[in-house]
Amino acid sequence: MEAARTENCDFAVVDLQLQGVMAYPLLDCLAQRGIPCIIASCQSRQDIPPRYMSMPAISKPYTTRELRRAIDVACGAQSVRESSGDSRD
């Protein structure tokens, strides 16, 4: 959690639940700092609280393609690629 408060990063992929501990405080901290987050979870999207619905989510296990798309969405690059015709698939 300390790293989330102090370290600089372009984005974060956050496992929603590790060893029974939910990562909502971590997501809140990163979002407050303006760091784009991707939620990685075994839970269905409907089980994630509404306040996190603006964050892209990927289901575990996920593919490289799914992760790349989530990064694009989280970082705002998807619309830029679509408008330029770059599909990267």
At 38-82, the pLDDT tens digits run 999 998 889 999 999 999 999 999 999 999 999 999 999 644 444
Domain span at residue 11?
A: 2-84
The DSSP secondary-structure symbol of 37 reads: E
Q: Is residue 13 part of a domain?
A: yes
Q: Is residue 65 part of a domain?
A: yes
Q: How many CB atoms lie within 10 A of CB 19?
A: 5
Q: What pLDDT shows up at residue 85?
A: 52
Q: Is residue 60 part of a domain?
A: yes
Give the neighbor-by-neighbor strand order of the sheet with 57-59: 12-15, 37-41, 57-59
pTM of the predicted protein model: 0.80
Domain count, the chain: 1
Residue 86 has pLDDT above 70, yes or no: no
Q: Is residue 89 part of a domain?
A: no
Beta bridge partners of 15: 40
